[in-house]
Amino acid sequence: MSQTDAAASDLRRRGALLIAVAIGGFTVDYLFNAGLGRLLDPHQYGDFRVAWSFASLVAVLVLLGGDRAMPQALAGPFDRGEVSKVWEYLRFYFAVALALSAVAMGGTWLISAFHTGSSDPMDHHAMAWAVIGVPISAAGALASRALQSARYPARANLPWRLGVPLLNLAFVSALLITGSNLEVQGAVLFAVFAVLLVTGWQWISLRRLKLPRLERQPAARTPKTWLTASVPMMGVFLVALALNQSDLYFLELLGEEHEVGHYAAAATTAHLILIVQTALVGLTAPHVQLALERGLESAQDVLRRGQRSLLATLVPSLVIMFLAAGPLLALFGGSFDDAVPTLRLLLLGNFIWATAALTVLWLQYTGRALYVVGITIATLVLDSIANVILVPQYGMEGAAASTAATTLLATVAVFIIQARSAVAVPKPSVD
């Protein structure tokens, strides 16, 4: 069996497992969010989602793309058994993440104290509490990507896709059963605790596999080379994440308070599309990098197979969720049914952008990451302008329409860049 055929077999075999894990994890996480939506009023639930989105954004920023670039930097060394090089890479990016996390936490608490005018921690916005989890999330992202780069996708994904949601669901279920009250700060702190447990488990798993040998190898330390590759990738993902979350912030500033929670419920539901996309792209990324080292034709073949798997999974997911929008939102409570049109718009927007995910990966791996950065920044600016115009008049539906329209423009731009590149990628298709 050729290396390309072996990669295709791996994509089929492990892809089915990862999709099942992604859907199972989403279901558990969805039940957690639905339970949380019943324990908190819509405005408090919206505060929780805003805080957690903010912490996720900062966790991406402090790593400077070290996690995103890891398959490109380490897939080859892992494949050749050069695992001693891994420690220098992890050590460098973890030190960077710790330093930047300290700045982010200090800045967030100072701004929150200035905004509230109070020194009582309980008076601060939930964002000030959520940012405590940033260095923990960063450490977890590094461990997960290391396992993924070594081609242990189940070990990389299962703890995050199932472990964290199960811990959160157990917490919420216990509160619902006992009839206990919950404040938004308590929900945030437990979510941070769940991340801490899973992060610790993944580092233990790495050590048991003896992947990062804890020995210095200064010759393998190339920060300039690593940052040159990782920062553009971080920029692409960060802007895409900001685009995905900016609607919540604009609704918080310009919309009705209750709509923040309703929009958060719709966004949480529509996120399944991006979870499926992330699982398949994460599985494909190491194979693409290894195939590029063998030659362009091999890499194109791996990419084409990955695109087919991606579309074959995304299309039925979109159709099922579009038809079941009402019952899905009903799990949050009766008042959330007014978010059905918003959910459907978000599903379309997420689906459109997800179809370009592997093309974005290809552009990054073939030296065109700056084009993608430019497209995503322009998209974020357009989305922000559209939110300012539409949110005051149309509320959460205006925010969702803005995202759907701007992601369509971004996707078209990505495919145009790919088509005009000297290296062309076959158009996505489903056999």
427 in a structural domain = no
261 in a structural domain = yes
Alpha-carbon gap, residue 68 to 365, rounded angstroms: 11
Task: Output the pLDDT for position 400.
Answer: 92
- Model-level pTM? 0.66
Q: What percent of the chain has pLDDT over 70?
A: 84
Task: Output the pLDDT for position 215.
Answer: 65
User: In Å, what is the CA distance from 136 to each residue of 60, 160, 195, 323, 357?
Assistant: 12, 13, 7, 38, 27
Q: Is 173 helix (H, G, I), strand (E, B) or coil?
A: helix
Query: Which residue's structure tokens are 């084409």?
Result: 304
306 in a structural domain = yes
Alpha-carbon gap, residue 303 to 143, rounded angstroms: 25
425 in a structural domain = no
* Amino acid in the structure at residue 401: A
- Give yes or no for residue 220 having a pLDDT over 80: no
Contact 223, 56 (CB under 8 A): no
Alpha-carbon gap, residue 228 to 367, rounded angstroms: 11
Token pair recorded at residue 136: 């923990």
Query: Which residue's structure tokens are 């799990």?
Result: 331
Domain containing 42: what range? 3-419
Task: Output the pLDDT for position 427.
Answer: 43
How confident is residue 388, by pLDDT bands cut at 50, 70 and 90?
A: very high
Nearest one of 159, 160, 10 to 79, comparing CA atoms: 10
User: In Å, what is the CA distance from 365 to each residue of 30, 276, 288, 419, 426?
Assistant: 33, 21, 8, 16, 16
216 in a structural domain = yes
DSSP string, 284-328: HHHHHHHHHHH-HHHHHHHHHHHHHHHHHHHHHHHHHHHHTHHHH
**What's the whole-number mean pLDDT along residues 63-89?**
78
Give the model confidence (pLDDT) of 16-60 as tens digits.
Answer: 666 777 778 888 888 888 888 888 887 788 888 888 888 888 998
430 in a structural domain = no
Give the model confidence (pLDDT) of 319-364 as tens digits.
Answer: 999 999 989 888 887 678 888 999 999 999 999 989 988 888 878 7
Alpha-carbon gap, residue 134 to 166, rounded angstroms: 20
Task: Output the pLDDT for position 135.
Answer: 94
CA atoms within 13 A on the CB side of 371: 21
Alpha-carbon gap, residue 282 to 107, rounded angstroms: 32
Return mean pLDDT, the chain. 81
426 in a structural domain = no
How confident is residue 73, by pLDDT bands cut at 50, 70 and 90?
A: confident
375 in a structural domain = yes
- Give yes or no for residue 422 having a pLDDT over 70: no
Task: Output the pLDDT for position 284.
Answer: 74
Total domain count, the chain: 1
Alpha-carbon gap, residue 74 to 212, rounded angstroms: 11
Other beta carbons less than 10 A from residue 338's beta carbon? 16
Query: Which residue's structure tokens are 């494949």?
Result: 79
Give the model confidence (pLDDT) of 156-194 as tens digits.
Answer: 878 888 889 899 999 989 988 887 888 888 889 899 999
Alpha-carbon gap, residue 247 to 267, rounded angstroms: 10
Most confident listed range (206-220, 257-271, 277-291, 381-395): 381-395
DSSP string, 239-295: HHHHHHHHHHHHHHHHS-HHHHHHHHHHHHHHHHHHHHHHHHHHHHHHHHHHHHHH-
